Structure 1
Amino acid sequence: MRIAIAADHNGLALKARLVERLSAQGHTVDDHGSHAGKPVDYPPLCAEVCRQVTGGHADRGMVLGGSGLGETIACNKVHGIRAGLCHDLWSTRVSRGNNDSNVLVLAAKLLSLREAVDIVETWLTTPFKGGVHARRLAQIAALERESVRH
Structure 2
Amino acid sequence: MYAGVGFTGVNWSVAGKVIRASDVWSTARLSVLQRLSPSTAMACAYNFDIAQSVANVTVGFMQGLRLRLPTLFSSRRADARTPLPTDSLVPLVWACKAESSGVCSTALRGTFSDSLRWSVIVHKNMLVEKSAFQFGVSLSMENDS
Range of TM-score over shorter length: under 0.3
Greater length-normalized contact order (CA 8 Å, ≥ 6 residues apart): 1
Q: Compute the TM-score of the two structures, normalised by the length of structure 2.
A: 0.27
1 or 2, which has the higher strand percentage?
Answer: 2
Greater CA radius of gyration, 1 or 2? 2
1 or 2, which has the higher helix percentage?
Answer: 1
Q: Compute the TM-score of the two structures, normalised by the length of structure 1.
A: 0.27
